[in-house]
Amino acid sequence: MDKRASIQWFPGHMNKARNEIKEVMPQMDLVIEVIDARIPYSSENPMVAALRGEKPVIKILNKADLADPELTQIWMDYLEQQSGVRAIACDTEKANDVKRIIAICKQLVPNKVGTGRQIKAMIMGIPNVGKSTLINTLAGRAVARTGDEPAVTKSQQLIKLDDDIMLYDTPGMLWPKVENENSGYRLAATGGIRDTAFDFADVASYTAEYLMQAYPELLKTRYKIEELPKTDWQFFEVAGRNRGCVRSGNQVDTYRMSEILVNELRSAKLGRITLETPAMTEAEEIVVAQQRVTAEEKKKAKEEEKRLRRLKTRKNRK
């Protein structure tokens, strides 16, 4: 399948949220960034690093119960190589996992514990990463709206966790442009972007190609396939027929099968899956950097062409 997803996702309230966060960030002691354990790189907001500066950050690999546990550990070790970063895996259904976050906040800002001066922690995360559910578990009460659709939280709110910690909640915030096309597909596959913002079949195709390489046995088991075909479209044909996605004329409804694949990935009916590794994303960053240089060179060439054209026009007028 030809995969050229056009993903649009920067509504006005996100731009407003970014400006508000920039304004209050100097008052914060630390940042808690909630990321999706299935896509730790793609669900990291590059604006968080720019906004937090040197402040310590706790990276919460949320939805760890849906992710490949082996790769989750690899990702945590990888993230903690970065300056000022602590990483923990979290299943919001397990209160003990969540309570560890409070303990780590106090470890990172020990000078305020027990003094009556509250630790100010800003919690950030892209839409639909599970931030609101995490906040409710941390607070021990329903203080944040939750939902399956991205971008439920629309404004900042203050939440007292205990006598030592005040949590500053922020709206789920995406960045204006995703340079790495692979990240866009992964965000779409895991539900970080509204389904109306992309071509579902393209995302399913991308997902199938990856799963056929990384988790072939899970696909075989789930869709009762003895030997996986070589292409994604052949996979949709075989799996679709096995799942009864057949229209009149004995034609397989591959779009319906695309929806099944993505929905069963999101619900972990396929199994515990992680869609990226540190090695993959490092290689992709090199490609993106090269594309950035090429784009800049083209921009400069166009500007020079315009300049020469203007000079030529002036000479002709004389």
128 is in an annotated binding site: yes
202 labelled binding-site residue: no
| Residue 171 near residue 145 (C-beta atoms within 8 A) | no
Is 287 flagged in the annotation as binding? no
64 assigned to a ligand binding site: yes
The answer to the question of whether 254 is labelled as a binding residue is: no
| Angle between helix 95-108 and helix 131-139 axes, rounded to 10 deg | 80
Q: Are 20 and 51 in contact (CB under 8 A)?
A: no
Please check whether residue 8 is in contact with residue 188, taking contact to mean a CB–CB distance below 8 angstroms.
no
129 known ligand binder: yes
Q: Which helix (H) or strand (E) element contains residue 60?
A: strand 57-62
62 is known to lie in a ligand binding site: yes
- Evaluate the CA torsion angle 48, 54, 284, 77 in order and state its sign: negative
Residue 84 annotated in ligand binding: no
- Residue 34 contacts residue 124 (beta carbons within 8 Å): yes
131 is known to lie in a ligand binding site? yes
- To the question of whether residue 169 is assigned a binding role by annotation, the answer is no
Q: What is the DSSP string of 111-170?
A: GGTTTTPPEEEEEEE-TTSSHHHHHHHHHTS--S---SSS----S-EEEEEETTEEEEE-
Give one word for 249, left, alpha or beta, with left for phi > 0 and alpha for psi -120 to 50. Answer: left
Cα distance from N-terminal residue to C-terminal residue, the chain: 56
Tell me the residue type at 21: I
Q: How far is CA 314 from the centre of its chain?
A: 51
60, 167 in Cβ contact below 8 A?
no
Q: Is 133 annotated as a binding residue?
A: yes
- Cα(89)–Cα(73) distance, integer angstroms: 8
Output the known binding site: 62-65, 128-133, 172
Output the known binding site for GTP: 62-65, 128-133, 172
